[in-house]
Amino acid sequence: MNGTLALAGAEIKRLRRNRRYLIFTVGLPVILYLIFSKQNATAYSVAFAAFYMVGMAAFGAFSGAFNNNTIRISQERKDGWIRQLRLTPLPPNAYVSAKIIASMATSVPAIVIVLLLGRFYGGIHMPAWKWIVIAVTIWLGTLIFAALAVAIGYLFQPDSVQPVAIALYFLFVIFGGLWFPLSGGLKSFGEITPTYWVMKISTDVINTGTIPVTGVVVILAWLVAFVALATLVVRAKAEAL
């Protein structure tokens, strides 16, 4: 366990020095919130500033857990780094565990900064427990994308993984309604995505103080599915090393 945590710590330090990572996980969501949040409108029965705050916090956190990891894992497999780690005393799952732990840790700044921006720039006021529930909902949602990143990173080579990752991520962003509220047929389709329910749980907490059970079930189902997929892919590729 100590070896896994040490590997995760090294990954966190590396990400902190990665300017591209910081731009897309923290900088871009902050800029978009500053530009688009001040609208005299509502979405999912809450002020647009509150809706967009949740969307941008999730956008940054999920991007960090997914896009960066897929590319990094794919490149490290090609370079033989994972093969070298398998020759050390580290547990077989240390590499994957370290990536997920690092994703969870490095998603925190994106969530906290955007929520603070919503409070002091967007003028959003609500009890402390609601802020905590929203932050935890988004934070736990990063697990889904961290697990998917492992599967995609192991499946694809570096020259093809980036377009695949970007396409998948923006499908979840657009059809999950992180940028704009969904309605009609698009909403019906979006209700099967975990990103939609991260948004819906958070906005319901803001509006009524309740957590929709359906949303929790859908999010857990996606998490189980992607963890299972990642496990199968890692085992299959490990045997091929």
pLDDT in tens, 174-217: 999 999 888 888 888 889 999 999 999 999 999 999 999 999 99
Q: What does the alpha-carbon distance between residue 135 and residue 148 come to, in Å, rounded to a whole number?
A: 21
Dihedral, CA atoms, 15, 18, 21, 27, nearest 10 degrees?
120
Alpha carbon distances (Å) from 100 to 4, 33, 85, 182, 203: 11, 27, 16, 30, 26
Confidence (pLDDT) at 15: 64
pTM of the model: 0.89
Closest CA to 8 of 87, 121, 109, 85: 85
> In the prediction, which pLDDT does 18 show?
66
The pLDDT value given to residue 205: 96
pLDDT exceeds cutoff 90 at 129: yes
Contact at 8 Å (CB) between 48 and 142? Answer: no
CA neighbor of 72 nearest in space, from 151, 158, 164: 158
pLDDT of residue 76: 75
Residue 117 has pLDDT above 90, yes or no: yes
Cα 125 to Cα 120: distance, rounded to the nearest angstrom: 9
Structure tokens at 89: 């005393």
Give the tens place of pLDDT for each residue, 8-66.
666 667 666 666 677 778 888 999 999 998 888 898 889 999 999 999 999 999 988 88
Residue 240: is its pLDDT beyond 70?
no
